[in-house]
Structure 1
């Protein structure tokens, strides 16, 4: 079987709907828990796929979370070798930073369901399955990043320009969350309660209703997206 190593920063932010797709593709998945397991022990070149998931911390806060240094080192070597690498939200920000781009707070937090705006290159990639006319996607972030030199921008939203970029032939960074499921995201509403309460125009009731309206469709389209992306590696 192929091996997928997944770095997780929060217990409730896992592979979600990507889990079954990796199983179908004969990947053996192993989670590595940031802040608990030794990230420096991961051989950056060994796994067939490395996935860096989301989290509440900032990609530039190694002073408080020193394991970020090990994640950056891993990504630098992995991306230099152009090996299959996927970053979601915080993972995308860590990819951008490891490629020399700046990561910083955005003008406002982007939380909730929205449409992706794919550019022509994005429309000719596996992300076409997540285009605005196909589905909405979940956003949940306050930081953003500059586009790394040598990378290719694939998608934007009205609030954040850099929503997805590719690196080489096998690196993909996604600011948004295509992996979420309707049942799984309910845990986000609980775990992010303090953050939600601090944003006047974000309410759990609205997030829950939008999830009811959009999550099932996202799962269908995400399955197509994951299948297409994995097939391209």
Structure 2
């Protein structure tokens, strides 16, 4: 039997799946990387993929002049959600999932950059991915890097996480489709180049790029454990759905 296959959509150079990809590969999942920024065609349907991972990027979900493939990614996300295919949208990926499924995204009044605390909501305690966050007395923290945010989630979306500056940090659609505004896939090395390219916007927020990266570096082991575990939980969902599909055929 072949390994479960995950389609990974990457929106620009330097925004790959990071530790998320490493954990999924270690579980035996095959990752097919789609890079529309480099000319790859975005599939119309998820086909026989067992999971869909849509990553972040510096553009917003409505920036079709800058990234003309975004409507195609929305179409793909909409098809995945209709099938309840195991899906995870990260940062821009969540914003695209929101738009694809009928919600709204706006420019954030208070952009989040660097390490920020998250607050699990009551439904998270019953969620397949996020229940583990409710079992600790220590608030989870995650890397944030966004100037856009979901203002109106898709109808029926279950809110899972929030933060002081961003109401909708994570939600679930159906049983297997998740969006997260934060970046569980990145560590200090991943965001070092982001700090360089976003120097002006960070300084406008009163932030020093080197200090932001340094803060993440000091928490790296915690981030590896926390969000690497999330990656493995999502990989387990993908594999379990694949086994059910094989059993039904």
State the TM-score, normalizing by the size of structure 1: 0.92
Change (3 A) 1:26 1:42: farther
The answer to whether the 8 Å contact 1:135/1:217 transfers is no
Partner of 1:217: 222
Determine the C-alpha separation between the residues in 1 that align with 2:195 and 2:6: 28
Partner of 1:193: 199
Runs of 4+ in 1 over 3 A off after TM superposition: 38-43, 128-132
Among 221, 228, 233, which residue is 1:228 paired with?
Answer: 233
Determine the C-alpha separation between the residues in 2 that align with 1:208 and 1:104: 26
* Alignment size in residue pairs: 232
SS at match of 2:38: coil
Change (3 A) 1:20 1:63: closer
SS at match of 2:212: helix
The answer to whether the 8 Å contact 2:7/2:53 transfers is yes
Q: Which runs of 5+ in 2 are unaligned?
A: 239-249
Map residues 1-233 of structure 1 onto 2, 5 A cutoff. Answer: 1-41=3-43, 43-125=45-127, 126-130=129-133, 133=138, 135-145=140-150, 146-199=152-205, 201-233=206-238
Q: CA deviation at 1:129?
A: 4.1
The answer to whether the 8 Å contact 2:196/2:209 transfers is no
Deviations 1:135-177 (A, max 9, x none): 4211110111111101100000000100000111111100001
The answer to whether the 8 Å contact 1:129/1:222 transfers is no
Q: Please tell me the root mean square deviation across aligned C-alpha atoms, in Å.
A: 1.8
SS at match of 1:57: coil
